[in-house]
Amino acid sequence: MSQFEMFAPTAQPVSTVPSADQVRARLESLMRTLRQADTLPLTEKQLRFWRTVVPQMTNWLPAEEKAAVCAEFDAHLIRLERKAA
């Protein structure tokens, strides 16, 4: 081992904590898909995933924004599920 290797700076770990902007972008993509849909565009597995993940993802947003996103998500699912019935 060379001296350079002994004293080289160690690699900094990459943060896995999402930013509010990253969360917004991911949620906006989902909402855009739901807004444009006439039928439910999600499989049962995807639907279970998003029903679990959306409330968790919105924890990274301010309280008012979290409530608005969750309400919009629920409203789209109700609308699309009614059309399917």
Q: CB pairs under 8 A, 24+ apart, for 62-70?
A: 62/20, 69/27, 69/31
Question: Is 60 exceeded by the pLDDT of residue 22?
Answer: yes
Provide the residue ranges of all domains of the chain, joining segments of one domain with +: 19-84
Question: Is 70 exceeded by the pLDDT of residue 56?
Answer: yes
Q: Is the pTM of this model over 0.75?
A: yes
- Give the integer Cα–Cα distance in Å for 31 and 68: 12
Range 53-79 average pLDDT? 97
Range 6-11 average pLDDT? 70
For residue 3, count CB atoms less than 10 angstroms from its CB and return exposed for 0-12, middle for 13-18, buried for 19 or more. exposed
Range 27-53 average pLDDT? 96
Amino acid in the structure at residue 26:
R
Q: Residue 2: what pLDDT? A: 63
Question: Is 70 exceeded by the pLDDT of residue 61?
Answer: yes
Q: Residue 11: what pLDDT? A: 74
CB 48 within 8 A of CB 6: no
Secondary structure class of 38 (helix, strand, coil): coil
